[in-house]
Amino acid sequence: MTAALPTATRHKVASCVVLLLLLFAPLRALGEGIPILAYHRFDPARAGPTTTTVPVFERQLDWLAAHGYTIVRLRDLFEGWQGRGPAVSGREAVLTVDDGHESVYTYLYPIIRQRHLPVTLFIYPSAISNAPYALTWEQLAEMENSGLVDIQSHTFWHPDFHKERAHRTPQDYRAFVDTQLSRSRAVLEKRLGQPVEMLAWPYGIVDPELEAAAARAGYIAGFAFSGGLARPGADAFAIPRIPVANQMPGSLFAGLLTEATSEK
Ligand SMILES: [Zn+2]
C-alpha cells in the first residue's frame, strides 16, 4: 500500500506531459466513430493540465446534448458493437474518468446525478481509502449503487510499464504485469461486487505484450489515450480515448461536429 504515494507523484508529472502532448491532437478527418472522453479531476474554478472546471464541464455536456450526442455507458457501447447490447447509432459519446480522485465524488457525481448521465471510472485500488487525494471505498460503493457509475480497472497501483520493463528481467516483468492486472480486478470485484472486465492503461502505455497479458487476465477491452474516435472492430485492447481537460467545447469538439454534419 505504501507504493501508492510515490507512484501517485510520478503519475501526476507524467500524465501532465502525456496529456499536454495529446490535447492538441487534431480531431478532424477521423472517419466515423464514437468519442470516448477521458477526464481525470474536477475543480469549481481552478483549471489544470488534467483538471476540468465545473462550469467548463457543464458547457461540454451542454454542447454534446445540443449537437445530438447521447451519453451512453462504456460497457453498453462495447456490447452494442459486439451485438450483445443496444444497437449503436453512431451519435453516442462516452464519459470516462481515470484515477479515482476525490473530486469525482465532490464535483462530478452531483452533476451526473442531476443530468442522469452514465460514467465509467477507471480505478487503481491501491490508492482507494489510502492516498489523501483519493476516493474511499464507501464513496465508490455509493456511486456504483446509483446505477450511473460503472467501476473498472486502471491496474493495481498505476505503474509506468516502460520503467518497470527497464529494470526487471523478462520473467519478472511478465509476473509483475500479470499481478497488476489480475489483482486490480480481484480487489475491485471483491470490494464492490460487480464484474470488472475493462481496463484503462496507465499513461496510455500499451503494446502487444501488455494486450496479451490483459487477455490472459480475463479482460475484454483496454483503453488508451491515443486521441481519436473509437470504432467497432478496432484493436479491443487499445481502444482510443480523447483526453479532456479544460478545453471549451468549441475547440474540443470542432472536429466531431464537422464529421457529424458531413455524414448526414
Ligand atoms: Zn491514470
Number of domains in the chain: 1
Residue 96 has pLDDT above 70, yes or no: yes
Range of the domain at 65: 4-258
Q: Is residue 20 part of a domain?
A: yes
264 CA distance to ligand 1 middle (Å):
36
229 CA distance to ligand 1 middle (Å):
20
Q: Is residue 67 part of a domain?
A: yes
72 CA distance to ligand 1 middle (Å):
22
CA of 50: how far to CAs of 5, 22, 130, 189, in Å? 18, 11, 21, 27
Residue with cell 479482460: 219
Residue 112 has pLDDT above 70, yes or no: yes
Q: Which residue has the higher pLDDT, 67 or 215?
A: 215
As given in the structure block, the three cell numbers for residue 222 are 483496454
Residue with cell 478527418: 29
Q: How many residues does the chain have?
A: 264
Q: Is residue 144 part of a domain?
A: yes
262 CA distance to ligand 1 middle (Å):
34
Mean pLDDT across 42-46: 97
- Which CATH number goes with the domain that contains 190? 3.20.20.370
Q: Is residue 85 part of a domain?
A: yes
pLDDT band at 74 (very low <50, low <70, confident <90, very high): very high
Distance (Å, rounded) from C-alpha 177 to C-alpha 122? 17
Q: Is residue 264 part of a domain?
A: no
As given in the structure block, the three cell numbers for residue 41 are 479531476
* Sign of the dihedral through C-alpha 55, 57, 59, 65: negative
Q: How confident is the model at residue 250, as a pLDDT?
A: 80
Q: Is residue 241 part of a domain?
A: yes
Mean pLDDT across 193-202: 97
263 CA distance to ligand 1 middle (Å):
34
18 CA distance to ligand 1 middle (Å):
11
CA atoms within 13 A of residue 65's CA, in its CB half-sphere: 9
Q: Is residue 51 part of a domain?
A: yes
User: Which secondary structure element, helix H or strand E, spans residue 151, and what is its range?
Assistant: strand 149-153
Distance (Å, rounded) from C-alpha 200 to C-alpha 262? 31
3-state SS assignment for residue 29? coil
Could you tell me which of 257, 139, 114, 261 has the C-alpha nearest to residue 192? 139
Q: Is residue 244 part of a domain?
A: yes
Q: How confident is the model at residue 2, as a pLDDT?
A: 40
222 CA distance to ligand 1 middle (Å):
13
pLDDT in tens, 240-261: 999 999 888 887 777 665 554 4
